[in-house]
Amino acid sequence: MPDRAHLHPVDQELLPGAHNAIETCLRLKPHERLTIITDTFTRDIAAALQSEVERVGAEYSLFVLEHHARRPLSYMPEIILDDLAMSQVSIFAAQSQPGELSSRGEMTAVVNHHHIRHAHMVNINRQIMLEGMRADFCAVDELSQRLVEHARQVDRITCKTPHGTEFVAELSPKLKWLKTSGIIARDKWGNLPGGEIFTTPMNTNGVFVVDGVVGDYLCERFGDLKSNPLTIEVEDNRPLTKTAIEWANLRLVQTPPAHISSDTSYKTKNFPGYISLSAIRMLSTPAQIGLRKRTSTVSVGISISGSMASK
């Protein structure tokens, strides 16, 4: 059965971000149904979201992952997937763990099949709720739209930073630019906080210096890389051998291979030859529209060969 009761006393400081998620980003209506998926670590944020859903008056179910399966998840519990299929709106607000990407894939497959307005809040925490989730997402969406309209007209994007990044992406009009600005629609679920446009580049070359974080559960493991940045050298969409050595120095490859290939999207067999760049993203959430700290302006997604934006 769903976990109906409030999981935690509602923290009033979390309510503005929760209100933004329910009212502005998801635009939940009283006649709609919503599924919230959370975990024990994130229950305070889930309680704030639940409170906002109850204020709207919509029907909902709430599931705590640890009440239905052992973590890390090897699959998404069937009771959750069945409930999700009955909803028009959904939220995943939980922490990621190694090996869980496939279970989240089962969830998003249901979201895609039923065209659910889905907010993906993986690794959401209090700081993000107090900062990023208080952004003016209408302004973010307006800026994102202007940015994506401009990006669709160009065939090359060059990214340079003072820290050594000099990276060129060649683009193709046959590959779409997608926008996830925080305003979530039926045709494309999105991350919250949102604010990016992305595409699959036709080709990439250059040097990309990662001096922030590496993503997913590795954020918690390795933290901010500012004092020990990761340099990725790319030629024709393929990282060079030196890049593999850099990753080894950061001990990213000490994660068991099954986790590396499925979660971080690095494939270890013949290490550099099996890695390609699949996406280039441009963020559209600067400080002036609601964030206290500027995080980045451009990021690159690395994954096993394949297209994220070809359809």
Domain end: 133, 167, 194, which one? 133
pLDDT band at 51 (very low <50, low <70, confident <90, very high): very high
Range of the domain at 37: 12-133
72 and 100 inside one domain: yes
What is the DSSP code (8-state) at residue 229? P
Indicate the average pLDDT of the chain.
79
Q: How far apart are CA 42 and CA 280, in angstroms?
A: 30
Residue 220 belongs to some domain of the structure: yes
Res. 311: pLDDT tops 50: no
Q: How far apart are CA 64 and CA 69, in angstroms?
A: 9
pLDDT digits (tens, 9 = 90+) for 116-160: 999 999 999 999 999 999 999 999 999 989 888 888 888 998 888
168 and 297 inside one domain: yes
Q: How far apart are CA 297 and CA 287, in angstroms?
A: 11
pLDDT band at 212 (very low <50, low <70, confident <90, very high): confident
159 and 235 inside one domain: yes
What are the residues whose beta carbons fall under 8 Å from the beta carbon of 301, sequence distance 6 or more?
Answer: 198, 277, 278, 279, 280, 281, 308
281 and 195 inside one domain: yes
Domain end: 133, 155, 186, which one? 133
Pick the more confident residue, 305 or 62: 62
Res. 228: pLDDT tops 80: no
pTM of the model: 0.76
Q: What would the two tokens of residue 23 be?
A: 């009212």
pLDDT band at 38 (very low <50, low <70, confident <90, very high): very high
pLDDT digits (tens, 9 = 90+) for 56-106: 999 999 999 999 999 999 999 999 999 999 999 999 999 999 889 999 999
83 and 64 inside one domain: yes
pLDDT at 279: 53
Q: Which helix (H) or strand (E) segment is 68 a member of? A: none
Residue 58 belongs to some domain of the structure: yes
Residue 140 belongs to some domain of the structure: yes
Residue 3 belongs to some domain of the structure: no
pLDDT at 8: 65
Q: How far apart are CA 7 and CA 43, in angstroms?
A: 6
pLDDT at 302: 36
